[in-house]
Structure 1
Amino acid sequence: MMKSCRTIPMLLFIAFVSLLNAQKSIDWQVIPSQGGTDQNSNVQIQWTLGESAISSAGFSNFRINEGFQQATLRTEKISRHDEISNAGSDILAEIFPNPTSGILNIDVSKSNSVLLHIRLSDPLGKLCAEKQLWAPSATSIDMSALPSGIYLLRLYTDNTTWDEVYKVIKQ
């Protein structure tokens, strides 16, 4: 009788420790309806179809994404004029989240201070929002009152040494 009193707690302890060790090896995975992985010597891309991002928060140099598999590329560049000089080549713009249902964040980095013009228009060319920004800096555009659809976001400098257009999707 005394032996079984010691055996049961010992078995419970072993089971508990085994469960704790088993939890250390859990790997989170996404089982998508469609997806794949492609890579070369410089980059690896994993993509899935059908999963949505739940939320995103952060600062210009630090971002936390919650949800399923989320990409770091958030924009689709429409055009860049070939005649642009290299003077604006050190400007980097990050537009997120895209698609958006409300606030569109614009984060621009550059080694020197430069005035950028920001214009948001619908596909017919109607101006929806306009701002100016001294880069490096960040700003946002509230798109919550705009109807769902595709919009064009143009960022350019005064002397047009840098001029880029991005496609933004409003959900």
Structure 2
Amino acid sequence: MIQIEEILDNLVSQTTEIHGSTQTYNTLTDSLIQQMNDICGKVDPKESKNQTKKKEMDQKTNHRNTNEQDLEIDLREYQKSLDLIMHKHRELLESNKNKHKSEIEQYSLKLEKLKEDNTLLKQDNQYLRKNIQGIVKVMKQISEIPDEELNKSMSEISQLKKQNKILRDLLQIPQNENPKNGKKN
């Protein structure tokens, strides 16, 4: 009896040391019950079945824990692989982004140049329209002049050109130079 009391005291002291871990508590309880049965010399068949079931459950739990550890290792490996893939993907995205950014800058510069060219073409177009309008106006005025007066004016212009040429030859002034300012026409 003294041994049973010691075992019970041992059981009580061990259970107070347990901090909420039921598996450890159950294991200690089973081992203490086994010790008590060994001391008393009696073995309960229900107890041996329970212990066998308990051992099987512990083995399954250990197997499950091993599987969980394997799964955790696999998960970590997959996570590392995923991180590496994501890193490469981010680098590729950044590379493409920089490539497209430089292409966009080039297209922006080309667009600015085209806008400038378009503005210059519009200005040239306006200038040409004004000149064409002036020419059309002069042509209308010329068409309103009677043919006799036009022929007379044309002959006067050709005579003036001949006289101009003669005078230039006498003064030795080149044909393309303006006598007033000395610049070429």
Q: TM-score, normalised by structure 1?
A: 0.22
Larger proportion of helix: 2
Larger proportion of strand: 1
The structure with more radius of gyration? 2
Bigger relative contact order, structure 1 or 2, given CA contacts below 8 A and separation 6+? 1
